[in-house]
Amino acid sequence: MAPRRRLKNQGNKPSFLRKSMNSLSISNSRPAACFEIFNAQKAGLLTVFMQILTMLLEVGVYFIMESKGYFVSNEIFRMIILPVATVYIGGAIIATFGILTKKRLLITIHTTITMTLMLLTDILAVSIILLMAIGKRSTYLNELPGHFVNERKFYSVLGPFWMYLGAISLHITVAVNMAFLQPLNEFSSSVQVSG
């Protein structure tokens, strides 16, 4: 049997591995957790863009559902959704300036806004689950959802667990925002290390 030929780079790490190993050092060009192909600044900017796009999508879905008659108290929902969307998008714009100017405080403001909204969203989701758990034991709580949403429409689309699916959607929204915060926190860390 003939001996195997030794390859030119055998024993050395491939160039793409060497590059990624070098990028693990702490520097401004360090890749962020969710966007490994970008440096921290580009990942932060992409994250902020995705946050704005996601909020605009959520507001758009709300208005479509409102026009189809899914909500009974449109004024109440608008008083909540529009200010929340404005604060969230405003925070994302502030974070954009923070990323471009490398000012950690501006990113921290947006992170605080996002975490506060995440907390409120989770409280709402848990409240919906508790409302479902109590169910028909309390007449007032049993009739409460009907003051805000058209239960029949939601039931016809999502079935008997429509409230539970709404709570899951709120938890998913929180999880998505947790993923959005990762690149921003990574960028804040890189600014702190370099500053």
In a domain, 133, yes or no: yes
Residue 13 scores a pLDDT above 80: no
Helix locations, the chain, DSSP H: 15-22, 40-67, 74-101, 104-134, 139-143, 151-158, 162-194
pLDDT digits (tens, 9 = 90+) for 37-46: 788 888 899 9
For residue 176, pLDDT over 90 is answered with yes
The torsion angles phi and psi of 32, rounded to 5 degrees, stand at: -90, 160
Q: Does the residue 62 lie in any domain? A: yes
Domain assignment present for 96: yes
Measured distance CA(148)–CA(163) in Å, rounded = 12
Q: Name the nearest CA neighbour of 180 among 52, 2, 19.
A: 52
State the pLDDT at residue 143.
85
Q: Dump pLDDT digits (tens) for 111-142.
A: 999 999 999 999 999 999 998 888 778 888 88
In this predicted structure, what is the pLDDT of residue 146? 86
Please check whether residue 26 lies inside any domain of the structure: no
- Structural domain includes residue 34: no
List pLDDT tens digits, range 17-75: 544 444 444 444 555 555 577 888 888 999 999 999 999 999 999 999 999 999 998 99
Between these two residues, 117 and 9, which has the higher pLDDT value? 117
Query: Residue holding tokens 């804040």?
Result: 188
Q: Hey, what amino acid is at 4?
A: R
Structural domains in the chain (count): 1
Q: What is the pLDDT of residue 49?
A: 96
d(CA 4, CA 128): 67
Q: Is residue 13 part of a domain?
A: no
Examine residue 22 and state whether it is found in any structural domain, yes or no. no
- Cβ-contact 182, 33 below 8 angstroms: yes
193/83: higher pLDDT = 83
pLDDT of residue 164: 92
Report the alpha-carbon distance of residue 104 to residue 122 in Å, rounded: 27
3-class secondary-structure state, position 39 = strand
DSSP 8-state code for residue 79? H
pLDDT in tens, 80-116: 999 999 999 999 999 999 999 999 999 999 999 999 9
Average confidence (pLDDT) over 148-163? 90
102 Rama sector, left if φ>0, alpha if ψ -120 to 50, beta otherwise: left
Give the model's pLDDT for residue 8: 58
Q: Residue 81: which domain range? A: 39-189
Retrieve residue 163's tokens. 């409230």
Phi, psi (5° rounding) for residue 31? -70, 150
| 27 part of a folded domain | no
Q: Which token pair is 153?
A: 């429409």
Mean pLDDT calculated for residue range 7-12: 57
Q: What is the mean pLDDT of residues 155-178?
A: 92
Q: Taking a C-beta distance cutoff of 8 angstroms, is the pair 130, 123 a contact?
A: no
